[in-house]
Homo-oligomer: A and B are copies of this chain.
């Protein structure tokens, strides 16, 4: 099965989706930021009295979803009808004693192709934003497990990966 993003001469192209039906589509992606437990404590306190890292990350993720086709070369432009992000924090659940912020993004459209990349981009940029805002106190943070967890709509129907 060949990679569909290439033409007969092996050059990249934006795959033709013109013949596909406009159907409601949804994708859910997840990823996690691993960080020191003290950093997570700072973020949580910040939510109350110092500022809200996750509020900024959420706005960044939503805005990035809308610009996915500008970043990922072969992505089609799509009129997103919904984007939301959730964060779940877990103190020190990691074998290395690290805390976790699990980021989850849900994106919907009515269109000719799926919104997996938009959901994955939202998660990635939200993770980068958390990194940026905390890097002065925790340089060893890591963004992990960026993955698609659910997809519905289109010819392939519903897929649950997790």
Contact = CB atoms under 8 A, between A and B. Distances in A.
Contacts of A159: 139
Contacts of A5: 51, 53, 56, 132-133
A69 B144 CA distance: 22
Interface residues of A, number: 91
B2 A50 contact: yes
A64 interface: yes
B127 A146 contact: yes
Given A71-B64, A82-B15, A124-B124, A49 B10 contact: yes
Q: How many copies does the complex hold?
A: 6
Given A13-B84, A49-B10, A128-B72, A59 B62 contact: no
Interface of A: 1-7, 9-18, 24, 31, 42-43, 46, 49-56, 58-60, 62-64, 66-67, 69-87, 108-112, 116-117, 120-121, 124-125, 127-129, 131-137, 139-148, 151, 159, 161
